Amino acid sequence: MTVCKKLRVACKEKMAVCQNRTLKQFVSEKIPDNMVKDNKIVSWDAMADFLKEVIRTKGVKCRHCVIALPADTSFIRRVTMPLMTEQQLKVNLPYEFHNYISQDMDKYIYDYTVISRTDKEMELLAVAAARDFVDKYVEMCRRALLKLVLIARILSRSGTFCAAMSRSMD
C-alpha cells in the first residue's frame, strides 16, 4: 500500500509519499499566513483547501494519509494491565487516564499498541485524544480528498511519533 505521511513542522506542510517503505516523493510547502497560530490550525476548511491544492499542483497521486498530532493535543501512557480481549480493553482503557481526564471520558478516543505480553498481563502504549479534535482532522482530510488511514501522536519536540491511533480510523 502507498501511504502519504503528513507532518506540520515550523509552518511548513510536509508530505512524504512512501511505497513499500521506500520514499517515492517528498513535498514541502509553506503554509499561508493566518492559517496556523501557535502551532494550531485556525481554519480547518482553508487547510483542507490548501492540502488539496498542494496535492494537485505537486502531482501527488496517493490519497492514503497519516496525520501526526502535536504532543499537547493528547495524552499518552505506558500501562501494564491484566491480559484481556480487545473488547475488554475498550471498556477498561479509559480508566487508565483518570488522572488526566476526570469527566466526560466518552469525549475522548482511546487506542493502544501492545509493547509486550505474557500469559497474565500485557504492557501497552496507550493514547487518548479529544474526539472533537480528531474529528476535525478526519473531516479536513475528507474535504481534501484524502483517506485518513492512521493518526499518530508526536512524542517529543524532535518529531518522534508513535502510531497508536490506527484502530480509530476503521
pLDDT tens for each residue of 90-135? 899 999 998 888 778 889 999 888 999 999 999 998 989 888 888 9
pLDDT at 158: 44
What are the chain's domains? 2-70+131-169 (3.30.420.40), 72-130 (3.30.1490.300)
Cβ-based neighbour number of residue 124 at 10 Å: 22
Quick check: 166 pLDDT over 50? no
Q: Can you tell me the distance from the alpha carbon of 93 to that of 96, in angstroms, rounded to the nearest whole number?
A: 5
pLDDT (tens digit per residue) in 46-100: 999 999 998 899 888 888 888 877 777 888 889 999 999 999 998 999 999 988 8
What are the start-end ranges of the E strands in the chain? 2-9, 12-19, 22-30, 36-37, 40-41, 64-69, 74-82, 108-117, 121-130, 147-154, 161-162
Please give the grid coordinates belonging to residue 71. 504532543
pLDDT at 46: 93
pLDDT at 163: 45
Of 97 and 12, the one with more pLDDT: 97
Q: Are 32 and 47 in contact (CB under 8 A)?
A: no
pLDDT at 154: 60
Tell me the mean pLDDT in the region 35-45.
86
Cβ-based neighbour number of residue 99 at 10 Å: 8
